[in-house]
Amino acid sequence: MTPYEIATQIVGIFAMAFNIWSYQQKQQRFIIALQLVGSLLFTIHFFMLGAYMGGLLNAIGIIRAIVFLYKDKLKSEHFLWLVGFILVYILSYVLTFTLLGKAFNPKNAIVELLPIIGMTATTFAFRAKTAKTTRLLGFISSPAWLIYNIISLSIGAICCEVFSLISILIGLLRLDRTEEEN
């Protein structure tokens, strides 16, 4: 590995730490705040890797996290925010194959769609009323991103999704089961 490749993977590992830590928060606001930092670092990481779809979507993820952190002021519950984000995800898909020059073939068409599925699930998760629902929607987002990350050879992002899935499960058992028992 070159020093650049090592630095790229280190950025991904730091991003991973913030995302994993997020699922152990009791309040949805803290989950979103920590994922904002993770998205910032993953934006840098994926662009360094040349995985432009991952970079674009994580950059959009920063904006999305800010919108949902300030949901009262920005009225993020409004349906147009959801539609707007999904349209921007689709635009990113188109840009990846046009402006950014990714070859369009059946494999790439499917692979580049996976993070859009993940981002859409996370957008619904941020709109959720409870941290439990946010964690449950992570079970859609994480597997989609995991496959993309394996194909992109992102060590930090692969570990992030594996650990996120474990962290979500622990959070569900530790925090959500306890709520149900009370």
Name the stretches of the chain with pLDDT < 70. Answer: 178-182
How many separate domains does the chain show? Answer: 1
What would the pLDDT profile of 65-79 be if each residue is shown by its tens digit?
899 889 889 988 888
Q: What is the pLDDT of residue 155?
A: 93
pLDDT recorded at residue 179: 54
Residue numbers of the domain that contains 31: 3-181
Q: Which whole-number Å values give the CA distances from 91 to 3, 41, 52, 96, 102, in the listed order?
A: 33, 22, 13, 9, 14
- For every residue of 42-111, DSSP letters joined together read HHHHHHHHT-HHHHHHHHHHHHHHHHHHTHHHHTTTSHHHHHHHHHHHHHHHHHHHTTT----SHHHHHH
For position 14, what pLDDT does the model report?
95
Residue-level pLDDT at 178? 58
